[in-house]
Amino acid sequence: MVRHNNAIPNGHFHKRWQKRVKTWFDQPMRKRRRARKRNARINRKQPMPCELLRPMVHCPSTRYNSRIRVGRGFTLRELKVAGLNQTFAQTIGIAVDVRRRNKCVEATAINIQRLKEYRSKLLLFPLNRKKQKEEMKKPFVPITKGINEPIRSLAKLKARTPTKEEKEFECYHYVAKARAESKYLGRKLRRKRMKNESIELPPLKKVRLHSQDMD
């Protein structure tokens, strides 16, 4: 019976927990099964690499950007410099990521070097089955796995005394000047072009950079 303003009893006690519980007792056997399937896939695709070639990228955020890991795919710019295109690269086991952008010259150079090294070691067989068998008779070293080994540790820079040039270098003024030049480059080029065409130019206003313009 309901007494005063109390909640109506509505207990659910017949849950049949034994029917709904999920266990993980097959985890060791699943591990072995995955290993067998992986080895079978390697043998089936022999001598083709079992995994796609992927780039080395820096982790996001300031906290982890010094760490390098395996990325999703190479950019179109990296493929172009390495002498490849997107369609052909995907047919020879190279992963492509059209969304990633190159922001670091050093990282771009490393990935381009990876592509060139992979291409130099790659042996392409003809599509004709008879010619393939002839090529297979020749001695070669197949690249089956380990092409995306992550870089475990980076060489850390040792502490040193800054040089005289580094002490005298004013970073803030250098960055402010570079920003100002990039901002007013179009106006300078326009005035130069109009001057060559002998057109009267309005007086150039002096622009003073404040702290707001630097942000």
Peptide bond into 47 cis (omega under 30): yes
For residues 211 and 145, which has the higher predicted lDDT (pLDDT)? 145
E strand or H helix at 95: none
Same domain for 94 and 53, yes or no, is yes
Q: Are residues 56 and 122 in the same domain?
A: yes
Whether 2 shows a pLDDT value over 70: the answer reads no
Interior/surface letters 39-73, b for 16+ CB within 10 angstroms, e for the rest: eeebeeeeeebbbbbbbebbeeeeeeeeebeebeb
Number of domains the chain is built from? 2
- Residue 201 above 70 pLDDT? no
Which domain does 210 fall in, by range?
164-214
Could you tell me the pTM of the whole model?
Answer: 0.56
DSSP state of 72: S
DSSP 123: -
128 with 180, same domain: the answer is no
The proportion of the chain whose per-residue pLDDT surpasses 90, expressed as a percent, equals 39
Q: How far apart are CA 215 and CA 213, in angstroms?
A: 6
Residue 201 lies in a domain: yes
81 shares a domain with 122: yes
Residue 189 lies in a domain: yes
**First vs last Cα of the chain: how many Å apart?**
70
